[in-house]
Amino acid sequence: MATAVNDSVVINEVGPRDGLQSQGKTLTPRERLELIQRLVNTGLRHVEAGSFVSPKAVPQMAGTDEVFHGLPSKDQVRYAALVPNMKGYELAVAAGARVVNVVLSVTETMNYENIRRTVDESAADFERILERASAEGVAGQAYLAVAFECPFEGPVNPEVVRHYAERMSAAGAGKIIIADTIGAANPTGVKAVLEAVSRVIPLSRVACHFHDTRGLALANVLASLNAGVREFDASIGGLGGCPFSPGATGNVATEDVALLLGSMGYDTGIDPQALVPVVRAVQSLTGTELGGKSFRWLSQQYDKQQGGGSNGR
């Protein structure tokens, strides 16, 4: 039985960008738009639709400008684009993006392995992007990657996360997203990082991004929720992965987060069962077996409602 908490929580769907970016199969812009339409039809109103990166480096994101030009329900859905640099920002805005995301790794080794720059050099680049976005009426958001643990340096000091959260916020980031990039966080660590960040930014301006590598993503969502966070990234079917954790599962599944929050009485605007055919469609599109912890049960409920049998996973 749901608990009447009279509170709403935002689920930000990252499958069309963070999820697809790690897939071996590259979808066409038309297929990506079809996926986004399916997601929007379930009630999702926050979607990361793509990234403006080099198609040579990330072929899965080729044609993102075409995707943005064709996005459905633009007046009802908050679409975001990831931008790696100022050129990416300019391309995103030219394609109609009104929300841009930057991603800063908070450890030196991770940042250098990714882009051959120091953290402070990257932070300065992103500050310029966020300042320009603010001046031009574009919403800027900053992800702080490896905020709990780094695959090269190990556990991250929460004060480091606090420092960069404060810098990005001061530059104009309206939202700071704390990212568990390799899925190494636990509820105790989540509480420590959020306590540090909350000293400089209200948690109403903080979101969390969890991977389910160690099976703790939902526990971390709950810990964040109890701390006061009201926005979470999730990916349909758990689509995604982590290049630094071979074989690791991807992002926390949208259907799992929607079911957890809904069963607790939080309003997400999403019916978890409505996500079942979308997960199945993504499986067909990508050729990847998908589905969160609740997918088998949700599939059974969905198929009963439709009057047919369950094909589960």
CA 294/CA 146 separation, integer angstroms: 27
Would you give the distance in Å from CA 43 to the centre of its chain?
Answer: 17
One digit per residue, the tens of pLDDT, for the chain of length 313 reads: 345 466 999 999 999 999 999 898 999 999 999 999 999 999 999 999 999 999 999 999 999 999 999 999 889 999 999 999 999 999 999 999 999 999 999 999 999 998 999 999 999 999 999 999 999 999 999 999 999 999 999 999 999 999 999 999 999 999 999 999 999 999 999 999 999 999 999 999 999 999 999 999 999 999 999 999 999 999 999 998 766 555 556 899 999 999 999 999 999 999 999 999 999 999 999 998 999 999 999 999 999 999 865 454 4
pLDDT number for residue 73: 87
For the chain, which residues make up each domain, given as ranges?
Answer: 7-306
Which CATH architecture fits 7-306?
A: Alpha-Beta Barrel (3.20)
> Letter for the amino acid at 25?
K
pLDDT number for residue 114: 87
pLDDT number for residue 1: 38
Per-residue b or e along 30-61, where b marks 16 or more CB atoms closer than 10 Å to that residue's CB = ebbbebbebbbebebbbbbbbbbbeeeebebb
pLDDT number for residue 65: 98
Task: List residues with catalytic annotation.
Answer: 242
Q: Are the C-beta atoms of 63 and 29 separated by less than 8 Å?
A: yes
pLDDT number for residue 21: 92
User: What distances in angstroms separate CA 235 from CA 86, 181, 255, 304, one per listed residue?
Assistant: 27, 14, 8, 25
